[in-house]
Amino acid sequence: MIFDLIATSAKLLVFLGVFLGAITPLMVWVERRFSALIQDRPGPNRLGPLGLLQPVADVLKFMFKEDVTPTSADRFLYLLAPVLAVLPALTTFVFIPFGPTVEVAGRQVALVVSGADAGVLLLLAIASLGVYSLVLAGYASNNKYTLLGGIRASAQLISYELAMTLAVVAVLLPVGSFHLGDVVAYQQAHAWNVLLQPLGFFLFLIAMFAETNRLPFDLPEAESELVGGFHTEYSAMRFAAFFMSEYIAMTTLSALAATLYFGGWDLFGYTERIATALAGVVGAEWFWMGAVGMAVLTTKAMAFMLLFVWVRWTFPRFRYDQLMRLGWKVLLPLALANTVLVAILILSGVL
């Protein structure tokens, strides 16, 4: 029991340190520098070399800004909304494996924080709770712009969750398991799912942008129409909580996409070979397996994060009718067709 508790705590600290403590602040800097590069301007370049300390300055600014609560707001729900935004984002990453099962001190340890058999279902279920924070923020602020943003967020996330879930179901069908570790093992034995199910990956990719409210699907915020949407009335650290939850959700979905379609922590078998080679020199194969697996998964996730940034500063925003038409009349029928096609291929022995 004590060993399991220590192992789980260590894995949790690794994920908190790498995905939340490192990637999230780094992506704040990357977003600003990359957007500047696209727009042919310098971007943040004063604080630290290449402006690397700009995220630290942003955090300090949010900490010392005045925290205002509107007098006509529903105070309890207004304060609860940022908390509900952060909690699902902080929880979902625990189901993503960053290595195989290894032996530590004579015990088998799975390199995943939570090895729940229904890991994919739990991840999607918890991630879907994030919409409540947006709806509560929009309603509790007692502002017409925030209310419209909350209504848009609820309709958008519910619409695109259907296509995303069906794309994930199509990945799970040939695997026969809800465990993400089994999905990685299936890709090791066959091929990356992006090659086996390209349509499913395309649908999942589009749904990722909609689920994280990123351009061209940022209708719940839509600065040109709704000022700031659901978080218009928020300031200081409460606004920062919404800001942080968006980046954490982007990171989690990027890691999930890498796991479902790009082999996760595995890199054509080289992950285990590199870890074994390093263990032959330094020892502690379990440590190197986790370290190399984490590095591979992080690199793949970062590639998706860069895609998020590139799309944001390249494509224009959809109109709301276009957004809903795409979700219900294009993505959902395609997702259903993709699921049926995968089932037929399984029955015919192709997958």
Q: What is the mean pLDDT of residues 323-343?
A: 94
Please say if the pLDDT value at position 337 is more than 90: yes
Amino acid residing at 49: P
Residues 207, 137: contact at Cβ < 8 Å?
A: no
Q: What is the mean pLDDT of residues 145-163?
A: 89
Q: What is the mean pLDDT of residues 320-332?
A: 92
Please say if the pLDDT value at position 114 is more than 80: no
Residues 6+ apart with CB under 8 A from 163: 203, 206, 207, 327, 331, 332, 334, 335
Amino acid residing at 349: G
Using CA atoms, how far apart are residues 118 and 220, in angstroms rounded to an integer? 31
Rg (CA), the chain: 21
Please say if the pLDDT value at position 19 is more than 70: no
Using CA atoms, how far apart are residues 261 and 208, in angstroms rounded to an integer? 13
Torsional class of 283: left (φ above 0), alpha (ψ -120 to 50), beta (otherwise): left
Please say if the pLDDT value at position 295 is more than 90: no
pLDDT digits (tens, 9 = 90+) for 197-217: 999 999 999 999 998 888 888
pLDDT for the residue numbered 1: 60
Please say if the pLDDT value at position 65 is more than 90: no
Q: What is the mean pLDDT of residues 18-38?
A: 81
pLDDT bin (cut points 50, 70, 90) of residue 344 is very high
Q: Which of 26, 36, 16 is nearest to 58 (CA)?
A: 26
Residues 213, 246: contact at Cβ < 8 Å?
A: yes
Domain ranges of the chain: 2-347
Using CA atoms, how far apart are residues 325 and 274, in angstroms rounded to an integer? 47
Strand pairing partners for 54?
none
Q: Which of 89, 70, 88, 66 is nearest to 79 (CA)?
A: 70
Q: Tokens 């509900």 correspond to what residue? A: 84
Q: Which of 141, 87, 308 is nearest to 217 (CA)?
A: 308
pLDDT for the residue numbered 66: 83
The model carries a pTM of 0.91
